[in-house]
């Protein structure tokens, strides 16, 4: 029964076994001259938003730069019914579902999107342009890591950031938490939920306060002072953290709170600025993703840095529903105006035939 259900779900995506490489399938959909909505970003938020819009019978195109933030990860976690699926397969299924309902998914990177009288003119880095009545930004974030040799190379493997994303996979291991920002204390206490062997490396941050030291000691979390100079790798596995004085502390996993930087370079042209967040920066919007720029919505990590895949997808759906409602309101106003203009053309005097309403009464 389960196998049959999976086959039905997969049939919507167009095939039973999706490729695992996010770049393996060319995004070769044609790019039309104009759309109701252009979605910038092909991650969970962008694709789910596009799916909602396509099902609402909107013309929609997703412009996907092919740089998903979770590409280094082996699997998606904490997402009901898709637990353990590779990020690449999840995205490929999403693309196929959008296409199933008539949406376009196009490989490209947006370089500019100035406002026009009727919406936006979106320009891609290769020179292609497309008009959009509304714009949904779901470009996501970039993880900015501390300048410690080896961190980037191990990122998503045995250098991790989110206990809810990776905690189960590193449970009961020797975990080191690299203090590189204000979230280090919180991160150390969280990872203690998954392992009794947690060490906080103060690195370049001030040592814990007296209150923090008491909390760490009560939870059995060791504090090591001194700047971290690098990692020890043994047979392609992290085996230790090397301090500046040459001391190596055995660790199997390193947790680090990256600074999250919004992929929103072209937003400055709108006058829309990013705002500071404890985790980095984000694009402000209301609960539906509507920004202060008319016709422009934002969804996913771009507007909520803490959102996991499920929350990002949900925000894309919410924004899409609001965009569709906004378009419906606009179209209704246009229809009313057209109906009135037609009535005036038929009867310029405004009377209703030989007898006006008062005479009829």
Which residues fall within 8 angstroms of residue 181, CB to CB, at 6 or more apart?
Answer: 205, 257, 259
Q: Grade residue 2 by pLDDT with cuts at 50, 70 and 90.
A: very low
Q: Tell me the C-alpha distance between 76 and 196, whole Å.
A: 25
What b-and-e string marks burial along 300-335, b requiring 16 or more CB atoms within 10 Å of the CB? Answer: bbbbbbebbbebbbbbbbbbbbbbbebbeeeeeeee
CA 326-319-293 angle, 5° bins: 65
CA 94-96-99 angle, 5° bins: 110
Evaluate whether 133 touches 119 at the Cβ level (below 8 Å). Answer: yes
The proportion of the chain whose per-residue pLDDT surpasses 90, expressed as a percent, equals 73
- At residue 351, the pLDDT reads 59
- At residue 21, the pLDDT reads 45
Q: Tell me the C-alpha distance between 315 and 304, whole Å.
A: 9
Which residues fall within 8 angstroms of residue 102, CB to CB, at 6 or more apart?
Answer: 54, 59
Quick: pLDDT tens for 85-110. Answer: 999 999 999 999 999 999 999 999 99
Evaluate whether 249 touches 177 at the Cβ level (below 8 Å). Answer: no
Whole-model pTM: value is: 0.85
Quick: pLDDT tens for 305-356. Answer: 989 999 999 999 999 999 999 999 999 999 999 999 999 888 877 655 555 4
Evaluate whether 93 touches 103 at the Cβ level (below 8 Å). Answer: no
CA-based nearest residue to 253, from 191, 326, 302? 191
User: Quick one: average pLDDT of 171-181?
Assistant: 96
Asked whether residue 28 carries a pLDDT value surpassing 70, the answer given is no
User: Quick one: average pLDDT of 78-89?
Assistant: 92
User: Quick one: average pLDDT of 171-197?
Assistant: 96
């Amino acid at each position: 029964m389960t196998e049959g259900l999976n086959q039905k779900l997969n049939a919507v995506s167009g095939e039973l076994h999706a490729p695992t490489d996010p770049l393996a399938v060319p995004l070769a959909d044609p790019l039309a001259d104009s759309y109701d909505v252009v979605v910038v970003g092909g991650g969970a938020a962008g694709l789910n938003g596009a799916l909602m819009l396509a099902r609402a019978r909107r013309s929609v195109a997703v412009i996907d730069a092919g740089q998903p933030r979770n590409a280094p990860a082996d699997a998606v976690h904490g997402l009901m019914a898709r637990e353990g699926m590779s990020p690449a397969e999840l995205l490929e299924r999403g693309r196929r579902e959008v296409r199933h309902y008539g949406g376009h998914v196009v490989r490209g990177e947006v370089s500019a999107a100035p406002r026009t009288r009727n919406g936006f003119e979106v320009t891609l880095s290769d020179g292609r342009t497309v008009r959009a009545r509304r714009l949904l930004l779901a470009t996501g974030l970039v993880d900015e890591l501390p300048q410690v040799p080896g961190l980037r190379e191990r990122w998503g493997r045995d250098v991790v950031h989110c206990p809810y994303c990776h905690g189960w996979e590193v449970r009961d291991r020797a975990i080191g938490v690299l203090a590189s920002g204000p979230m280090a204390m919180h991160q150390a206490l969280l990872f203690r939920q998954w392992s009794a062997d947690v060490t906080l490396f103060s690195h370049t941050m001030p040592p814990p306060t007296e209150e923090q030291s008491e909390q760490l000691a009560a939870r059995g979390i060791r504090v090591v002072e001194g700047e971290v100079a690098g990692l020890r790798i043994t047979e392609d596995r992290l085996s230790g953290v090397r301090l500046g004085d040459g001391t190596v502390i055995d660790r199997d996993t390193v947790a680090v709170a990256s600074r999250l930087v919004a992929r929103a370079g072209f937003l400055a042209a709108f006058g829309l600025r990013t705002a500071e967040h404890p985790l980095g920066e984000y694009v402000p919007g209301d609960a539906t993703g509507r920004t202060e720029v008319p016709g422009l919505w934002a969804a996913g990590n771009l507007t909520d840095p803490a959102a996991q895949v499920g929350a990002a997808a949900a925000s894309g759906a919410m924004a899409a529903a609001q965009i569709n409602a906004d378009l419906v309101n606009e179209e209704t106003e246009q229809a009313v105006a057209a109906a009135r203009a037609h009535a005036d053309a038929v009867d310029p005097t405004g009377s209703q035939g030989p007898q006006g309403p008062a005479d009829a009464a």
